[in-house]
Amino acid sequence: MRTAFQQELDARHDKYERLVKLSRDITVESKRVIFLLHRITSTPDMEEILTESEIKLDGVRQKILQVAQELLGEEMHQFHRAITTGLQEYVEAVSFQHFIRTRSLISMEEINKQLVFTTEDSGKENKTPSSDAHDKEFGTWRLRITPVDYLLGVADLTGELMRMCINSVGNGDIDTPFEVSQFLRQVYDGFSFIGNTGPYEVSKKLYTLKQSLAKVENACYALKVRGSEIPKHMLADVFSVKTEMIDQEEGIS
């Protein structure tokens, strides 16, 4: 009996370590997608970047498929801590791509629809299908993003949108900052409704979200008031100066 318990605990520990490694891979690959998407502001062919990002996201989803196979028959919440960082980064990457395409926020349901895998998807990684009878018959695996992972990923998205604003302004695009500002305001209002009633991690992200919104709104104000008199090659300075001022004020308070 003692040996059986020991084997079960060892197997669970090994599974946890495999999930941590997969989560790390998902995080790295998702960050690469985000870096790629930032090139949108400086390239004339936006569709080429979006197509390449979709290919990379498919690669990330193959890693998530491996996570789904590891968790088959397990209680996900027992292993959630091992995979949450990777899932948050994936949400950030896929929502960033969706915003660039549609100027809107992707829903949690849409993300989860992309995380339903078939035996054909599994074949891409040459994985052996699970021995579970039901799964073998229908050949499907799924992983559901939790509401907390979704919210934390969206909160991190706001920082990437602020960077996209800076890059856009640097290239003479003064429309994107106003579109992003309006979007960030809506996201911030949504998070404000949650306030301190949600999980601790979500309320902690609210402060960072507010910083991103303030920086973009202040720069938009300067562009609106002085945009016509600022040379295009100096527009990026509007963001850097406003950012420094806000950071100094926050340091004083």
Binding residues for Mg(2+): 92, 160
| Alpha helices, DSSP H, located in the chain | 2-37, 46-70, 76-102, 108-113, 119-123, 133-138, 147-170, 176-194, 200-226, 235-252
Helix, coil or strand: residue 116: strand
Q: What is d(CA 34, CA 216) in angstroms, rounded to the nearest whole number?
A: 19
User: Can you tell me which residue has the tokens 């994936």?
Assistant: 90
Binding residues: 92, 160
Copy the structure tokens of residue 181: 């500002």
Amino acid at residue number 175 = D
User: Residue 199, CB half-sphere, CA atoms under 13 Å: how many?
Assistant: 10
